[in-house]
């Protein structure tokens, strides 16, 4: 039960922080954990597949994909198909 209590407390603290300050306090940690940075990937946003190089996560939590035409496209949700 202690593990569940710790998990609940940690989640509650992070949720409160997110509600107060948005994604920014979590940005650096997510950037450090992001896989495939610099790799060519295929990203599916639920409607269309995009091919490009995984660039980063922006301060709002969107995934940034560097497209072949030089544009960086931001995605709030989707799947990395690799």
- Sequence-distant (≥ 6) Cβ neighbours of residue 21 within 8 angstroms: none
- Decide if 52 contacts 73 (C-beta within 8 A): yes
Angstrom CA distances, 14 to 18, 30, 58, 65, 75, stand at 6, 14, 19, 27, 23
- In this prediction, residue 82 carries a pLDDT of 78
Closest CA to 62 of 46, 74, 71, 53: 74
Q: Beta strand 40-44 with 79-80: parallel, antiparallel or unpaired?
A: antiparallel
According to CATH, what is the number of the domain 34-82? Answer: 2.30.30.100
Residue ranges per structural domain of the chain: 1-26, 34-82
Task: Kindly state the tokens that stand for 52.
Answer: 């490009």
Q: How do the pLDDT tens digits run along the chain, 82 residues long?
A: 699 999 999 999 999 999 999 999 999 999 999 999 999 999 999 999 999 999 999 999 999 999 999 999 999 999 999 7
């Amino acid at each position: 039960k202690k593990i569940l209590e710790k998990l609940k407390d940690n989640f509650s603290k992070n949720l409160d922080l997110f509600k107060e300050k948005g994604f920014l306090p979590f940005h650096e940690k997510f950037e450090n954990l992001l896989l495939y940075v610099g790799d060519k990937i295929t990203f599916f946003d639920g409607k269309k597949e995009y091919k490009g190089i995984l660039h980063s996560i922006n301060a709002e939590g969107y995934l940034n994909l560097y497209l072949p035409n030089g544009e960086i496209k931001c995605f709030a949700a989707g799947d990395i198909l690799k």
